[in-house]
A and B are shown apart, each in its own frame.
Chain A
Amino acid sequence: MSSRMRLGYFLSETASNLRYNGLMTLASIGTVTVSMLVLGAFLLFNLNLKSTINEVSSKTRVCLYLKAEASVAEVDALKRMIEGLDGVYKVDYVSVDKARERLKQDMSGQADLGRIVDTAPLPASLEIEMVDTSKVASLTSVIKGQPAIDEIHYGEDIITTLNMIRRIVQIGGLAAIIILCLVTAFVIANTIRLTVFARRKEIRIMQLVGATDWFINWPFIMEGIFHGLAGSLLAVGIAAAGYAWLVKNWPLTFIFPLAYNEQALLHISIALLAGGVLVGAFGSFSSVRKFLKALA
């Protein structure tokens, strides 16, 4: 039998299998949809968390307050040294006057504070913009102890907290996804088992006339793949529509806008489809194999 004819045979057998168990097929597809939706929600949450961390990181500046007695030459040498370090984008010198000017701007409208600002002992500083915020720790360890530096400040806490949240979400999410995928595979396996049971006489005859296990397996595996694909397609559709609605209606005042990175969203969709297909194939394969082993 040519491979085209064989595929035709497998497809017609698969279609007939699907007809056998209409309700169970729907239940199985529904389970895949729910599981893949949870997986999708997790991936989208992770995408946004990552984009938030990047956003926060990109706004993170390392601020070096300089000692009042530091000479211009010392500050200049320090600036040049920092500019040569890994992960540094730009270094700006903020003089005492400029710092006072900024403070004034920040406090504008509070007239009675103007005099305090004028007399406040503000230090000059170097503001470092990073290309890669993961290098902040190594940067501070290198420059710590430089004679011109009085204090080093950066948004360490918020980045650490966000990274910790991301790690927790990743570990917890991974565990949840594994459990959900196993449950889904189990439901698909049971649905396929019903079809296999309904067709046991046919399978028995196939075995007796010399059909190989693979030949018998294929229509059932394709049925499982169909459950997985249909369920995950539904999940991708629902997730895409839901996320598009959220992006449109998300209040901009809420921390950060939702991430809308087309490539990342495409990757998530592919991950959901692949996940559904794999879970479907695995569920049906395990079910039929067990049955055939018992019969042979």
Chain B
Amino acid sequence: MIAFQGVSVVYPNGVTALRNLDLKIEKGDFLFLVGPTGSGKSTILKLIYREEVCTSGRIIVAGKEITGISRRQIPYLRRGIGVVFQDFKLLTRRTAWDNVAFALHVIGVGRTEVKRQTAKALDSVGLLHKADALPTELSAGEQQRVCIARAIVNNPVILVADEPTGNLDPDTSWDIVQLLSRINIKGTTVIMATHDRSIVDRMRKRVIALQNGRLVRDEDKGAYIGEL
């Protein structure tokens, strides 16, 4: 599904975000990216949806090499990838329904299909009854659910989540991860960058640990801090 082959990212100011990373993620995987701030977790996610470009190496997403794709092809790549953010990035003047439907409108989906898919996505995150609420009228956990509904509304094959529980209390965080897990069970590959030790330890999924841009651990059913 996703492969990083000798990927390095060096910023123009000389800072190295990733060093010679080799990584393979299979279809249907649920994977945690862990490591201190600045270790390269977010960079990996941004490389997948082509917000950043690697300095060297190759990246393959859904069977397609994306390293050299043109600017014009980027939107089509992104239509297959859902993105969940720590700060939700919801449009505050639009209702929960509009925020989710927006993701379909802007890729040219027809009105009937927008209605059907938006209702389905909001239902799957348990928020169909709050479809008319503005983000400011929702709790942080509910806002994150809307963000997830927007990310999955066009049935992406990959879901990347950049610290989706960073702004949430432990119980709500656990609910959100359970929601991501349910999405994963339906076949979507989920990659989640996190600092939340308890969640990683409780889930016992694949864990990739990074430090200074290097992969230092890759464990199936791993923990936040590796077994010594």
List residues of A whose CB falls within 8 A of some B CB.
1-2, 5-6, 9, 201-202, 204-213, 215-216, 296
Q: Are A9 and B105 in contact (CB under 8 A)?
A: yes
Docked CA distance A5–B115 (Å): 14
Known: A2-B110, A202-B91, A205-B91. 6 other contacts (CB 8 A): A205-B89, A206-B106, A209-B154, A210-B107, A212-B75, A213-B75
Partner of A204, one of B77, B89, B110, B111: B89
With A5-B110, A5-B111, A6-B108 in contact, is A208–B78 under 8 Å at CB?
A: yes
Which residues of the other chain, B, contact A215 by a CB distance below 8 angstroms?
A: 106-108
A208 to chain B, nearest CB (A): 5
Partner of B75, one of A1, A6, A210: A210
B175 to chain A, nearest CB (A): 24
Which residues of the other chain, A, contact B154 by a CB distance below 8 angstroms?
A: 209-210
A98 to chain B, nearest CB (A): 81
A248 to chain B, nearest CB (A): 52
With A201-B89, A202-B91 in contact, is A208–B83 under 8 Å at CB?
A: yes
Docked CA distance A133–B226 (Å): 98
With A1-B108, A201-B89, A205-B91 in contact, is A210–B76 under 8 Å at CB?
A: yes
Q: Are B107 and A209 in contact (CB under 8 A)?
A: yes
Docked CA distance A86–B102 (Å): 71
Which residues of the other chain, B, contact A2 by a CB distance below 8 angstroms?
A: 110
Which residues of the other chain, A, contact B204 by a CB distance below 8 angstroms?
A: none
Q: Are B89 and A210 in contact (CB under 8 A)?
A: no
List residues of B whose CB falls within 8 A of some A CB.
49, 51, 71-72, 74-79, 83, 89, 91, 102-103, 105-111, 150, 154
Q: Are A205 and B49 in contact (CB under 8 A)?
A: no
Which residues of the other chain, B, contact A205 by a CB distance below 8 angstroms?
A: 89, 91, 102-103
Q: Are A211 and B106 in contact (CB under 8 A)?
A: yes
Docked CA distance A210–B75 (Å): 4
B71 to chain A, nearest CB (A): 6
Question: Per DSSP, are chain A's interface residues mostly helix, strand or loop, or mixed?
Answer: helix
Q: Are B89 and A1 in contact (CB under 8 A)?
A: no
A114 to chain B, nearest CB (A): 91
Partner of A211, one of B77, B83, B89, B107: B107
Q: Are B91 and A201 in contact (CB under 8 A)?
A: yes
A30 to chain B, nearest CB (A): 28
Most interface-central of B49, B102, B108 (chain A CB within 10 A): B108
Which residues of the other chain, B, contact A6 by a CB distance below 8 angstroms?
A: 108
B126 to chain A, nearest CB (A): 22
Docked CA distance A1–B77 (Å): 19
Q: Which residue of B lies closest to A205 (CB)?
A: B89
Which residues of the other chain, A, contact B106 by a CB distance below 8 angstroms?
A: 206, 209-211, 215-216
Q: Considering the complex of A and B, which 10 residue pairs feature the smallest CB-CB distances, nearest first?
A: A210-B79, A211-B106, A210-B78, A209-B103, A1-B108, A210-B75, A212-B75, A206-B106, A210-B107, A208-B83
Q: Are B49 and A208 in contact (CB under 8 A)?
A: yes
A269 to chain B, nearest CB (A): 37
With A5-B111, A9-B105, A215-B108 in contact, is A207–B89 under 8 Å at CB?
A: no
Q: Are A207 and B108 in contact (CB under 8 A)?
A: no
Q: Are B83 and A296 in contact (CB under 8 A)?
A: no
Docked CA distance A249–B111 (Å): 59
Docked CA distance A209–B89 (Å): 12
B150 to chain A, nearest CB (A): 7
Most interface-central of B51, B76, B106, B154 (chain A CB within 10 A): B106
Which residues of the other chain, B, contact A208 by a CB distance below 8 angstroms?
A: 49, 51, 78, 83, 89
With A1-B105, A5-B111 in contact, is A209–B71 under 8 Å at CB?
A: no
- 30 A–B contacts from the bound complex (CB under 8 Å): A1-B105, A1-B108, A2-B110, A5-B110, A5-B111, A6-B108, A9-B105, A201-B89, A201-B91, A202-B91, A204-B89, A205-B89, A205-B102, A205-B103, A208-B49, A208-B78, A208-B89, A209-B106, A209-B107, A209-B150, A210-B75, A210-B76, A210-B77, A210-B78, A210-B107, A212-B72, A212-B75, A213-B72, A215-B106, A215-B108
A201 to chain B, nearest CB (A): 7
Which residues of the other chain, A, contact B72 by a CB distance below 8 angstroms?
A: 212-213
A1 to chain B, nearest CB (A): 4
Q: Which residue of A lies closest to B151 (CB)?
A: A209
Q: Which residue of A lies closest to B79 (CB)?
A: A210
Which residues of the other chain, A, contact B105 by a CB distance below 8 angstroms?
A: 1, 9
Q: Which residue of B lies closest to A204 (CB)?
A: B89
Which residues of the other chain, A, contact B102 by a CB distance below 8 angstroms?
A: 205-206, 209
Which residues of the other chain, B, contact A209 by a CB distance below 8 angstroms?
A: 78-79, 83, 102-103, 106-107, 150, 154
